[in-house]
């Protein structure tokens, strides 16, 4: 039986990943790790154990791992790209010093580790279309720098110490449960909230700017199925390109408008977000993930938009 520790369990991905893992492996077998000020609430609090576990505190991490005899760690702690630009030192401290703490506790206690990378790990010199699995990675954001460094450090721990590290490069993740905070791709979540509230949407990203995006159920499925994959088939580890849809603001607006004809969008482009978006790929080639662990997404823009609007209407 798996004993799982989710670091960053109150965040956008962590909150839903914890619930999905509890559904699959049993509530008591999945510990929700949180930081001060982000204590789990509601069903997340009531469905299994939770522990204060700041990724920058190696003693706290070791205490949780030993107390629950953890064998698998999902490390979801991170600052997203825009906020990391205003707090680069903190982004490094969480993304790299924190990851170091996780990898050390994993090495000492025989845990497998999942730490997401991102489309942000690429930069302006990367081929933007059908971005290969193995290609140039020279990101210009602190977020991207921590993600590339995290990929390398995770591969290092696998090669040198045999720690079972695995990761995917997440695109912008779209969900209706916990909002993201401070990312470049957040507009693709906010647009649905505006549409359901009957408000006009002001888009901070310019028309024509394509980025990879993914609906949360596919993102959860990717993380869990990679961690369950047969290790003898894995040629890559940190980190796999995954993809399900790529669109620009006009395309997501058009899809929502077809379902909500009164919806209106205008543009007020934010310079920092736009420059980050311009440095990221348009769409990734995910054939290595498909070959090595049978990755396959289930949602396209159409199907996701229908579901997002329905679920948000119930929620709001």
Residues carrying an active site annotation: 143
3-class DSSP assignment, residue 117 = strand
Helix 249-259 crosses helix 187-197 at what angle (to 10 degrees)? 20
Q: Which is nearer to ligand SER, 33 or 144 (CB)?
A: 144
117 binds ligand SER (CB under 6 A): no
Radius of gyration of the chain measured on its C-alpha atoms:
19
| Size of the chain in residues | 316
Q: Which is nearer to ligand SER, 48 or 172 (CB)?
A: 172
Instruction: Find tokens 């205008």 and name the residue.
Output: 266
Q: Among residue numbers 157 through 196, which ones bind ligand SER (CB under 6 A)? A: 170, 172, 183-185
Q: How far is the C-alpha of 173 from the C-alpha of 163, rounded, in Å?
A: 27
Given the rule CB under 6 A, which of 46-54, 117-125, 158-166, 239-247 is the region that contacts ligand SER?
117-125
If 0-12 CB within 10 Å is exposed, 13-18 middle and 19+ buried, where does residue 266 land?
exposed
Q: Among residue numbers 143 through 162, which ones bind ligand SER (CB under 6 A)? A: 143
119 binds ligand SER (CB under 6 A): yes
Q: Is residue 190 within 8 Å of 201, Cβ to Cβ?
A: yes
242 binds ligand SER (CB under 6 A): no
Tell me which of 118, 154, 246, 305 binds ligand SER, using CB under 6 A: 118
* CB contact set of 266 (below 8 Å; sequence gap of 6+): 200, 201, 202, 203
Q: Can you read off the two tokens belonging to residue 116?
A: 């997401």
Q: How many residues belong to the site for ligand SER (CB under 6 A)?
A: 11
Closest CB 184 distance from ligand SER, rounded Å: 4
Q: Which is nearer to ligand SER, 75 or 184 (CB)?
A: 184
Tell me which of 11, 14, 120, 249 binds ligand SER, using CB under 6 A: 120
Tell me which of 35, 61, 80, 91 binds ligand SER, using CB under 6 A: 80
Q: Find the angle CA(130)-CA(181)-CA(255) to the nearest 5 degrees.
A: 55
81 binds ligand SER (CB under 6 A): yes
Q: Which is nearer to ligand SER, 7 or 70 (CB)?
A: 7
Closest CB 117 distance from ligand SER, rounded Å: 9
How far from chain centre, in Å, is Cα 257?
A: 27
263 binds ligand SER (CB under 6 A): no
Phi and psi at residue 282, in whole multiples of 5°?
A: -85, -45
Residue 95: DSSP 8-state: I
Q: Which residues bind ligand SER (CB under 6 A)?
A: 80-81, 118-120, 143, 170, 172, 183-185
């Amino acid at each position: 039986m798996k004993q799982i520790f989710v670091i960053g369990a109150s965040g956008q991905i962590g909150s839903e990943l914890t619930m999905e893992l509890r559904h699959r492996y049993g509530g008591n077998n999945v510990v929700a790790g949180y930081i001060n000020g982000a204590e789990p609430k509601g069903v997340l609090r009531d469905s299994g154990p939770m522990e204060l576990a700041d990724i920058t505190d190696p003693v706290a991490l070791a205490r949780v791992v030993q107390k629950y005899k953890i064998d698998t760690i999902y490390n979801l702690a991170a600052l997203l790209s825009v906020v990391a630009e205003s707090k680069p030192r903190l982004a490094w401290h969480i993304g790299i010093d924190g990851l170091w703490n996780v990898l050390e506790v994993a090495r000492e206690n025989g845990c497998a580790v999942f730490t997401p990378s991102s489309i942000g790990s690429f930069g302006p010199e990367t081929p933007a279309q059908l971005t290969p699995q193995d290609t140039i990675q020279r990101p210009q954001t602190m977020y991207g720098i921590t993600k590339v460094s995290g990929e390398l450090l995770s591969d290092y721990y696998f090669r040198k110490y045999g720690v079972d590290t695995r990761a995917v490069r997440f695109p912008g993740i779209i969900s209706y449960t916990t909002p993201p905070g401070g990312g470049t791709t957040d507009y693709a979540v906010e647009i649905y909230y505006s549409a359901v509230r009957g408000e006009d949407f002001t888009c901070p990203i310019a028309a024509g700017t394509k980025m990879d995006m993914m609906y949360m159920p596919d993102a959860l499925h990717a993380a869990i199925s990679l961690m369950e994959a047969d290790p003898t088939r894995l040629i890559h580890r940190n980190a796999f390109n995954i993809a399900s849809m790529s669109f620009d603001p006009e395309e997501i607006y058009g899809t929502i408008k077809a379902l909500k004809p009164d919806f209106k969008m205008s543009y007020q482009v934010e310079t920092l977000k736009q420059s980050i978006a311009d440095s990221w790929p348009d769409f990734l080639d995910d054939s290595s993930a498909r070959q090595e662990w049978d990755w396959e997404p289930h949602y396209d823009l159409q199907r996701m938009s229908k579901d997002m609007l329905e679920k948000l209407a119930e929620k709001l």
